[in-house]
Amino acid sequence: MYSEKLLYAIMADEGDLENQAMILTRSIRSYAGKYHHHPIWILFPDEFSDIPEHILTEYEQLNVRLIPFSIKKSFLKFPFAAKSIAASIAEDLASDHFERMAWFDSTSILFNEPDPLIIPDHIVLGYRPVDHTLIGSSFYEALDDFWKNIYQVCNVSNESIFPMQTMADNQIIRPYFNAGFFVVNPRMNLLQNWSENFKNYYQLDIFQSFFKTDNRYEIFFHQAIFSGTILSSLLPEDFIEIPNTVNYPLHMHWEIPEERRIKNIKDLISGRYCMDYNPTWLSDIPLEEPLKSWLLHQFKLLQ
C-alpha cells in the first residue's frame, strides 16, 4: 500500500542546487497549497557534491532529500544523459511508497496548487507536448529516417501513433513528449526503460550520423528516446495530457499562439524558464503582488 500520494522529483546539474533547484523548492513549499508538504527529492551527479554548508542547511529546513548518484564521465558529457539516469533512480526508490511522481527540470517554478499532478489511478503517465517541433516529426509528412530508427529500436507500432499539437509553434506532429516535466506511476518502470533504452542506443551508428549532421539530434535524443519508450510501453488509454497551465514556457511567452497565451502568471500552476533564451521573461508577462516581489527576490538572489 502506498504511504504518500505525491512525490516531487528534481534533476540538478552543476550549480543548480544553489540556484534554480532552490527556487523551485521554495516555490513548492510556498505555493503548492495542500500539496506543499509532500516530499521533495533532488537528484544530482555525485561529482557535483561539493555543496556549501548554508545550502545544505536550507534544504534540511525545507525537508528536502538530496540524492547523489554515480554516472560515468563519458556518459555525463552526452546531453541530458544524466536526466534519464536520475529519473530511473527516483522511480525505483519511489515505487513502493508513492502513488505518483512529478518530475520537474530545475528551471521550473510552481505558482499554484498543482491539482493536475494527481492523475487518475488508471493513468501511468501525465505529459505535456514539446514546445517546438525542431527534430519532431510532422504528422502529415512521411516518417523520416531518424524517427524510423527511434521507432525500430524501441519497437513502436504504427497503431501507437496519434496527432499531438506543439505548445509554441502550433504544429501537428507525431507523439513527441516533453521530458522537462511529467507525472508517472512509479511502479510501472517506465523511466527505467527509458534509461536502459538511452544507454543501449545512443552510441549506435544509425544515430551517430544524425548527431554529426545536426547537433539538435544529439541535444534532443533523450526526448526522442523518451517518446519511443512511452509509445512502446503504454497504450493510449494509459496516458493523459496535462493542461498547458503546467510547465508553461515562460521564456517563449510571445511565441505562443494568442488563444493559449496566459494573461497573468497567477493563472499558471507551473512554468519553466530559460535565461539564455530570454533573460527578460520576468518582465514580459503581467505579474501581481505578492508573487511579483517573491519572484524578483528569488532571481535577485541568482545574480
Distances (CA, A) of 195 to 9, 29, 81, 90, 91: 16, 29, 8, 12, 11
Q: How many CA atoms lie within 13 A of 10 on its CB side?
A: 28
235: number of Cβ within 10 Å: 10
User: What value does the CA radius of gyration of the chain take, rounded to a whole number of Å?
Assistant: 19
Q: Where do the DSSP E strands lie in 168-278?
A: 172-173, 177-184, 239-241, 248-249, 270-272
Angle at alpha carbon of residue 23, lines to 21 and 25, rounded to 5°: 70
CATH number belonging to the domain at 4-302, selected among 3.40.50.2300, 3.90.550.10, 3.20.80.10, 3.40.50.1970: 3.90.550.10
pLDDT tens, N- to C-terminus, the chain (303 residues): 445 689 999 999 888 999 999 999 999 999 999 999 999 999 999 988 788 999 999 999 999 999 999 999 889 999 999 999 999 999 999 999 999 999 999 999 999 999 999 999 999 999 999 999 999 999 999 999 999 999 999 999 999 999 999 999 999 999 999 999 999 999 999 999 999 999 999 999 999 999 999 999 999 999 999 999 999 999 989 999 999 999 999 999 999 999 999 999 999 999 999 988 988 888 889 899 999 999 999 988 766
The answer to whether the CB of 111 falls within 8 A of the CB of 31 is yes
Sequence spans of domains, the chain: 4-302
Interatomic CA distance for residues 74 and 252, integer angstroms: 32
For residue 283, what pLDDT is reported?
87
Tell me the helices (H) and strands (E) count for the chain, helix number first. Answer: 10, 12
Q: Which three cell numbers stand for residue 13?
A: 546539474
| Strand blocks (E) in 35-151 | 40-45, 64-69, 98-105, 108-110, 125-129
For residue 15, what pLDDT is reported?
85
Task: State the DSSP H helix or E strand holding residue 133, giving kind and residue range, or none if neither.
Answer: none
Residues 6 or more apart whose Cβ sits within 8 Å of residue 91: 101, 184, 186, 189, 190, 191, 192
Where are the extended beta strands (E) located within 185-290?
239-241, 248-249, 270-272
Please report the sign of the dihedral spanned by the C-alpha atoms of residue 202, residue 208, residue 212, residue 216.
Answer: negative
